[in-house]
Amino acid sequence: MSNIKQLLNLENARQFSTISLIASENHSSNDVRQALSSRLTDKYAEGYPNRRYYAGCSLSDQIELYAQQQVCKLFQAKWANVQPHSGSQANQAVYLALLNGNDTILGLSLSHGGHLTHGFHANSSGKLYNGEHYMLKNELLDMNDIEKIAIKCKPKLIIAGASAYSRIIDWQAFSNIAKKVGAYLLADVAHYAGLIAGKAYPNPIQYADVVTFTTHKTLRGPRGGCILGTCDKIRKKIDSAIFPGTQGGPFMNNIAAKAICFEEALSLNFQKYASQVILNAKAMVSVFKKNNIRIISRDTDCHLINLDLTNINISGAEAEAKLEKVGIITNKELIPNDSLPANQTSGLRLGTAAITTRGMLEKQSIEIAEYIISVLKNDKYDVNYVDKLCKQFPLVN
Ligand code: DSN
């Protein structure tokens, strides 16, 4: 058994020498990772800026206020809570703030691309609250259908957002439905946050009562969560739901790293990055379509591509394993109305956030998609392709 330092070095080497197409992963900058390993990891700062339960927090206060200011600027929000340790804890705090036990929440079904925390029965969101779900219709969000379901189940909170939906989400239409049925609207933009920050995907801030997201996916920051809003009354409830409601001391090293990621995302370069992420995903889609591999929801408007592998007679689990052997890291994914169970799946989810961080453009995206098809179909392929590509596009920052 290797010691932990060896294992860390091996993980470094793994990331350098493989291509991550996991839609929820990215490669953070050196500055972000340096903040994570800073001495702030040692600091206790329970509470909020200027209202802490420990001494020695004046620098922590400045860092947290700066992170809040940067993220508000990035998303045009009025307030931010940058303390959530994860996206799940951000959502948990929203529910604690706005709901009573057993209230109804309405979100996209997990089996159609939703998230565990959107009311799935085995998650606390489905145990403590009554989780109702809408499904995709013809593999798209159908706002008329969602409205009918909302009228019928009278949710106290509607969740818009997904883990595996590749098209534009109509935030305004969700807001209209929420208003009509007297529900709060939560926009969970974990997947789309970086694209929204880079002005390449619509921002829900003016339509949702609360916006939650993770900072480590398309936003390319440290692993963590964040909550935004525009209404002061809701802010108070959210702040107390995070601390003391669901969390103790904030991870100040993580908050500093979030501040750096928000700063990075405010740059013009990040806007170029966000647009390129989508161009790369679209380039891949064109190759899959040409090769008769069905794209769930027909196309992509973001970093995400969901493939239906039925036409090439391979399950998502088999495809994931086969691709990992050649250095391409992906994840199996249920497709809507999948005939296979969740540990097999008929689908594979891909995302272009991490390869775009490495500097890859449409040309490489097309090549990678063609390579994936050859591997999955057992056609002839160059076993050294990934290694060469990784050397050509190293992790530099
Ligand atoms: N597990 C994340 C994803 O892969 O989409 C969501 O939390």
- Nearest atom (ligand 1) to Cα of 191: 5
Is pTM, for the whole model, over 0.95? yes
> Which atom of ligand 1 is least distant from the CA of 164?
5
Atom 4 of ligand 1 has which residue's CA nearest to it?
Answer: 24
What count of Cα atoms within 13 Å lies in the side-chain half-sphere of residue 48? Answer: 16
List, in order, residues 6 or more apart from 268 with CB less than 8 Å away. none
Which of 25, 165, 215, 217 maximizes ligand 1 atoms within 8 Å of its Cβ, making it the mutation to test the pocket? 217
Atom of ligand 1 nearest to the CA of 24: 4
- Give the residue, out of 20, 22, 24, 108, with the most ligand 1 atoms within 8 A of its beta carbon, to mutate for a pocket test: 24
Closest Cα partner for 159 from 114, 216, 214, 97?
114
* Pair 243, 47: CB distance under 8 Å: yes
The tens digit of pLDDT for each residue in 253-278 reads 999 999 999 999 999 999 999 999 99
- Residue 74: Cβ within 10 Å count: 22
Per-residue pLDDT band for 396 (boundaries 50, 70, 90) equals: confident
Q: Whose CA is nearest to atom 5 of ligand 1?
A: 163
Mean of the pLDDT values across residues 144-167?
98
Q: Please determine, for residue 397, whether its predicted confidence score (pLDDT) is greater than 80.
A: no
C-beta of 163 in contact with ligand 1 (< 6 A): yes
C-alpha of residue 123 to centroid of ligand 1, in Å? 14
Summarised one tens digit per residue, pLDDT across range 66-100 is 999 999 999 999 999 999 999 999 999 999 999 99
Strand 19-20 vs strand 328-329: parallel, antiparallel, or unpaired? parallel
State what percent of residues in the chain have pLDDT above 90: 98
Q: Do 140 and 163 form a contact (C-beta atoms < 8 A)?
A: no
* DSSP calls for 174-220: HHHHHHHHT-EEEEE-TTTHHHHHTTSS---TTT-SEEEEESSSTT-
Residue 44 has pLDDT above 70, yes or no: yes
CA of 163 to the centre of ligand 1 (A): 6
Q: State yes or no: pLDDT of 308 exceeds 80.
A: yes
Nearest CA to ligand 1 atom 2: 24
Eight-state DSSP code of residue 380: -
**CA of 224 relative to ligand 1 center, distance in Å:** 12
Q: What residue has token string 């379901």?
A: 149
* CA proximity to 67, closest of 268, 266, 260: 260
Atom of ligand 1 nearest to the CA of 117: 7
Q: Whose CA is nearest to atom 1 of ligand 1?
A: 24
Nearest CA to ligand 1 atom 6: 163
Q: What are phi and psi of 186, to 5 degrees?
A: -105, 125
- Rounded mean pLDDT of 102-122? 98
Residue 322 burial by Cβ neighbours in a 10 Å radius (0-12, 13-18, 19+)? middle
Separation of CA 254 and ligand 1 centre (Å): 19
Mean of per-residue pLDDT scores for the chain: 97
Total Cβ atoms within 10 A of residue 296: 28
Write down all domains in the chain, each with its CATH number in brackets: 30-265 (3.40.640.10), 268-392 (3.90.1150.10)
Is the minimum distance from the CB of 306 to ligand 1 under 6 angstroms?
A: no
pLDDT tens, 363-387? 999 999 999 999 999 889 999 999 9
CA of 379 to the centre of ligand 1 (A): 31
Q: Rounded to the nearest whole angstrom, what is the distance from the C-alpha of residue 29 to the centroid of ligand 1?
A: 21
pLDDT at 145: 98
H or E, element range at 270: helix 268-290
Torsion-angle region of 56 (φ positive above 0: left; ψ -120 to 50: alpha; else: beta)? left
**Residue 54 pLDDT more than 90?**
yes
* Over residues 10-34, mean pLDDT: 98
What CA–CA distance (Å, rounded) separates 265 from 26? 14
Per-residue pLDDT at 46 exceeds 80 = yes
pLDDT of residue 1: 59
What residues act catalytically?
A: 44, 46, 188, 214, 217, 223
Give the nearest ligand 1 atom to 163 CA.
Answer: 5
In order of 3, 145, 203, 354, the CA distances from 227 in angstroms are 37, 28, 14, 24
**Structural contact between residues 362 and 278, judged by C-beta atoms closer than 8 angstroms:** no
Q: Which long-range contacts (CB under 8 A, 24 or more apart) does 212-216 make?
A: 212/84, 212/87, 212/90, 212/91, 212/94, 212/186, 212/187, 212/188, 213/87, 213/90, 213/188, 213/189, 214/24, 214/86, 214/87, 214/90, 214/190, 215/258, 215/261, 216/24, 216/25, 216/26, 216/28
